[in-house]
Amino acid sequence: MIKHIKLLEIILYVSDPEASCVFYENIFRQEANLKVPGMTEFNISENCKLGLMPNKNIAKILAGKTPHPDSGSGIPRCELYLYVDNIQLEFDNAIKCGAKLISPIIDRDWGDRVCYFADPDNHIIAFAEKII
């Protein structure tokens, strides 16, 4: 198999880029790697970045070809499923950061221990560990 994908960047459309930046800096316990008008990025693992783009900026790019991102505000539109070393640490940090708790840490039938939170735009964040 040829691996032609070199890097995965997930971009979340956000209503308040500054608030989302602070939220993710606290959740990831790191500063953003890039902060420029219209885009914030976090290097969250070797081959994965998380980007935050203002709704108004992506709306300009989409130019009426899809509904405006503001029309989907408050509706979960994606999930970040993050495998971590210490789920309790991530759970406690998310609570401290003010993330909205969706589901506590529970062993799931697919073989992971997972908890779920929502960010300020109601994007879902799951922290997971493999059950041994």
For position 19, which CATH number holds? 3.10.180.10
Asked if the structure places residue 116 within a domain, the reply is yes
Is residue 118 over pLDDT 90? Answer: yes
Asked if the structure places residue 1 within a domain, the reply is no
Q: Which residue has the higher pLDDT, 59 or 43?
A: 43
Asked if the structure places residue 59 within a domain, the reply is yes
* CA gap 60, 15 in Å, rounded: 14
Query: How many structural domains is the chain composed of?
Result: 1
Describe the strand order of the beta sheet including 124-130 as a list of residue ranges: 79-83, 124-130, 112-118, 100-107
Asked if the structure places residue 2 within a domain, the reply is no
pLDDT average, residue stretch 20-27: 98
**Structural domain containing residue 75:** 8-130
Structure confidence at residue 48 as a pLDDT band (50, 70, 90)? very high
Asked if the structure places residue 41 within a domain, the reply is yes
Asked if the structure places residue 65 within a domain, the reply is yes
Cα angle 116, 66, 77; round to 5: 5
Asked if the structure places residue 49 within a domain, the reply is yes
Asked if the structure places residue 104 within a domain, the reply is yes
Q: Which two tokens stand for residue 5?
A: 């994908």
**Mean pLDDT of the residues in the chain:** 91
Is residue 122 over pLDDT 80? Answer: yes
Q: In terms of Cα–Cα distance, which of 7, 10, 13, 5 is closest to 119?
A: 13
Entry pTM = 0.88
Is residue 129 over pLDDT 90? Answer: yes
